[in-house]
Structure 1
Amino acid sequence: MVCRSRSLDGRECRSEVCMIVKNQLWNDARVKKEASTLKRMGLSVTIIAYPEEGRPESEVWNNVQVLRVPRSGALKARLRKALDSCEEDDRGLLRRMVAALRHNPMKKFLGLLFHSLLYQARLLRHALATGAEVFHSHDLDTLPVCAAAAFLTSGKLVYDSHELWLESRRHLLETSRPFRVLEKWTEELIAPLADAVIAVTPGRAGIMREMYPDMAGPDLVPNYPPMIPRMKKSGEVRRSLGAWEEPCFVFLYQGILGLHRGLEELVDAAAMLRGLPVRIALVGHDRSRGVIPEYAAERMTADVLTFHPPVPSEDLPGITASADCGLLLFQGSCLNHTYSLPNKLFEYMMAGLPIVACDLPEISAVVRRHRCGVLVDAGDPASIADGMRRVAADPAGAAEMGMNGYLAARDLYTWHNSALTLHGIYQRLLGRRLPLPGPGGAE
């Protein structure tokens, strides 16, 4: 049954599937590919996501309803104002209680927990308003609210695990111990109750099966790119990537600029490549809090290495195609990295780029199988620099590796293959036949 609801601006909308992601949609290629695929299967879809500067709270994107829910609400502001007024009150007990709370060692945890619960409540209200049959959770941080919505409406729950969340560096380093325990309990409790569980790589799927033997699946939906025609290199784009003079060999890293992705070692490798006609471009969001750009400045690599601002996922193929070689240097600092198959690997292959890649199990298996790149020790700058030199010094070999990767991506690693798995999952959940999605992705 399709239920009617109203969007944030009061317009009536219809949804059979409600997706929730705690991310900005503009740069989340996987969520957009899945939503577009479901739409081509004849399903109505609502995506609930974080706000984006300059974008409306409610809009239709690619025939998909998008709701951007503000992260801070009026209730939080009113409570903060009430606490401030209580602390200024001279009448004693209430003032001392509020002051004690604000100086309590647990204040940060309690504050974050309170803020999280308020936001979860707002997400739940909007999710319920969609009247969806299926609530599709993108990663562990949206699993509780999707589970609550499914329970309250007798709907279906999909847990789409993009990461091994509990084994990721972000979780291990940036999450306080109380929240780590809370998130562990959440996944242990809810994941086995999901009607469908989705994993991105075979290795991660295997670990999830070991962790939760009573869990459904998981089904494997790799984050392959959509099939796109090969694009010509753009001189303007190459100049934006640092190729101010030609001939020049451009190495590209695209994705999050974070720690433990081999980027600090790449900066050191860049310093070893001075004097060669090569440039290195890093394109993406800086999640290192300035550590990587500052380290690059310290090493004085500006003549070799360029930082390029992030671009919408739809615009990325043109940048990828204008480079000469892709870089993928993840380090095995956590199980999430060890068993990763980043979409950038297949985006490089789809663009016909050879790859200088780390020797982690899932990534190296693809590179070795298709002979589409060279493997290096991502923890050793000298090894990275040597691999880059070898590729740049052999244009014919680089072109052969690039073509090997392109042919493999075209035949094996396109989103259409993942979409067929997603089609099977939703037919099973809804108990009815759905049209097969044609080739394509997020359009």
Structure 2
Amino acid sequence: MKKVILSVTNDLVTDSRVHKVALTLLKMNFKVVLVGRKLPGSSKLGHRPYKTKRLKLFFKKGPLFYAEYNIRLFWFLRLRKGDVFLANDLDTLPANFLISKLKGKPLVYDSHELFTEVPELLNRPGKKAFWRAIERLILPKISKAYTVSESIARLYQKKYGTPFRVVRNLPHREELLMVPPEKSLTADERKLILYQGALNIGRGLEYAIKAMQHLKGARLLIVGDGDITLPLKKLVADLKLADRVSFMGKIPLQELKYLTAQAHLGLSIEEDLGLNYRYALPNKLFDYIQQQVPVLVSNLPEMRAIVEAYQIGMILEKHDPEVLAKQLQEALFNRDLREQWIENLPLAARDLCWEHEEKILEDIFRDLR
């Protein structure tokens, strides 16, 4: 039985994509080891049917972190038997590429995003140039690669000549959840607007918070953590919106679905800050759909195509708090619109699930068994 070693730079707790990939590889009779890192505040990992390893690092962020992680990952992989190496995103690729060449073993690359176009690098030309150099050096030499959207796949193939398959980050198919009373959040009868995911720049969260000034009968729940958590909390305090905006922190995947199922509207309102966001297909969009929650999404091509194809929500007109508030009002309280969306969501949930998407992943790994 061949062993696949997957590597990521996060702490494994909330990364649903690599967990699903690991489960699919187990079904294909691979041994699976998932490698990440241990942070001071990392939660304990629940039981998983595959092996995990979290590396403890001295540096927590910045260039020294990436250098330390890849050096530590290189030696971890060097000292262990592995038949296939799966690098998740550009920040794990250097170590995996070197090991695959050193051991003469296959390398598979999973690009979760257009890494060199993330908003965090937009105004950092030196760092952006470094990661682009890594891309130019390695991507043309990779034969098996996949990513999260058609737009990103086309861009990579055009730029580097590397064929990329598309494996969207879709959730497992689930029956509509019955939420137990102890997990219910609807005691005050206000409509629940949900954002779940990373709290980073460009996610539209500042506009959503400001829009709550103009919206009654609703509550905004923000689930997750990230670089701008503290500024967002300060904004809520400054605007005196603590009764309308709640920060829920990080919630384990198995618990999060109970919260998602209670939302009346899910937000995915990323700004057009570079190609990475423009071509994104965020995980949260499909999580909302799987729990049959109508959505409000940015007018960006990949998200717009999903929402228009299934008629399951609304496209954002522009990132202006007052305009956004009017759209939220319409999406939450227009009965005719909501009836149409809710009627269409079951079909979208049946189509947009991991059980269909994993067939592409199986095809990628079939000849590596």
TM-score bucket (shorter structure): over 0.9
In structure 2, the CA distance between the partners of 1:28 and 1:54, relative to structure 1 (3 Å rule), is: same
Q: Which residue of 1 aligns with 2:276?
A: 336
Give the 3-state SS of the residue equivalent to 1:160 in structure 2.
strand
1:121 is aligned to 2:71: yes
Whole-angstrom distance in 2 between the partners of 1:331 and 1:238: 31
Q: Which residue of 1 aligns with 2:193?
A: 251
Give the 3-state SS of the residue equivalent to 2:38 in structure 1.
coil
In structure 2, the CA distance between the partners of 1:70 and 1:62, relative to structure 1 (3 Å rule), is: same
1:131 is aligned to 2:74: no
Q: Which residue of 1 aligns with 2:54?
A: 68
CA-CA distance at 1:391 after TM superposition: 2.0
1:179 is aligned to 2:118: no
Contact 1:330 1:378 in 2 (8 A): no
In structure 2, the CA distance between the partners of 1:425 and 1:291, relative to structure 1 (3 Å rule), is: same
Whole-angstrom distance in 1 between the partners of 2:115 and 2:265: 30
Range moving further from structure 2, 146-155 or 112-121: 112-121
Which residues in structure 2 correspond to 1:425-436 (within 5 Å)? 425-428=364-367, 430=368, 432=369
Whole-angstrom distance in 2 between the partners of 1:317 and 1:222: 19
Q: Which residue of 2 aligns with 1:102?
A: none
Q: Which amino acid aligns with 1:201?
A: S
- Please say which structure displays the higher CA radius of gyration: 1
RMSD of aligned residue pairs (Cα, Å): 2.2
Whole-angstrom distance in 1 between the partners of 2:306 and 2:225: 26
CA-CA distance at 1:54 after TM superposition: 7.5
Whole-angstrom distance in 1 between the partners of 2:78 and 2:154: 33
In structure 2, the CA distance between the partners of 1:156 and 1:321, relative to structure 1 (3 Å rule), is: same
Q: Which amino acid aligns with 2:257?
A: P
Q: Which residue of 1 aligns with 2:352?
A: 413
Q: Which amino acid aligns with 2:364?
A: I
Which residues in structure 2 correspond to 1:307-326 (within 5 Å)? 307-326=247-266
Contact 2:37 2:55 in 1 (8 A): yes
**Percent of matched pairs sharing the same residue:** 29
Whole-angstrom distance in 1 between the partners of 2:46 and 2:250: 23
CA-CA distance at 1:112 after TM superposition: 5.8
Match of 2:113 among 163, 168, 177: 163
1:48 is aligned to 2:35: yes
Contact 1:329 1:378 in 2 (8 A): no
Range moving further from structure 2, 37-46 or 376-385: 376-385
1:28-61 per-residue CA deviation (whole Å, 9 max, x = no partner) reads: 010111011101111001111011458799x894
In structure 2, the CA distance between the partners of 1:146 and 1:61, relative to structure 1 (3 Å rule), is: farther
Give the 3-state SS of the residue equivalent to 1:69 in structure 2.
strand
Contact 1:226 1:414 in 2 (8 A): yes
CA-CA distance at 1:394 after TM superposition: 2.4
Q: Which residue of 2 aligns with 1:284?
A: 224
Match of 2:322 among 364, 379, 382: 382
Q: Which residue of 1 aligns with 2:23?
A: 36
CA-CA distance at 1:116 after TM superposition: 3.8
1:232 is aligned to 2:178: yes
In structure 2, the CA distance between the partners of 1:307 and 1:114, relative to structure 1 (3 Å rule), is: closer
Contact 2:11 2:42 in 1 (8 A): no
CA-CA distance at 1:113 after TM superposition: 4.8
Whole-angstrom distance in 2 between the partners of 1:301 and 1:112: 33
Q: Which amino acid aligns with 1:124?
A: F
TM-score, normalised to structure 2's length?
Answer: 0.93
Q: Which residue of 2 aligns with 1:81?
A: none
Contact 1:372 1:405 in 2 (8 A): yes
Match of 2:90 among 133, 136, 140: 140
Q: Which amino acid aligns with 2:57?
A: R
TM-score, normalised to structure 1's length?
Answer: 0.78
Q: Which residue of 2 aligns with 1:363?
A: 303
Which residues in structure 2 correspond to 1:217-228 (within 5 Å)? 217-228=163-174
CA-CA distance at 1:272 after TM superposition: 0.5
Whole-angstrom distance in 1 between the partners of 2:46 and 2:286: 29
Q: Which amino acid aligns with 1:133?
A: D
Q: How many residues align?
A: 368
Contact 1:321 1:352 in 2 (8 A): yes
Q: Which amino acid aligns with 2:209?
A: V
CA-CA distance at 1:130 after TM superposition: 2.8
1:147-197 per-residue CA deviation (whole Å, 9 max, x = no partner) reads: 011011101111110010011102224xx5433222111111111111311
Q: Which amino acid aligns with 2:58?
A: S
In structure 2, the CA distance between the partners of 1:116 and 1:323, relative to structure 1 (3 Å rule), is: closer
| Structure 1: runs of 5+ lacking an equivalent | 3-15, 74-110, 433-443
Whole-angstrom distance in 2 between the partners of 1:353 and 1:56: 28
Whole-angstrom distance in 1 between the partners of 2:214 and 2:233: 17
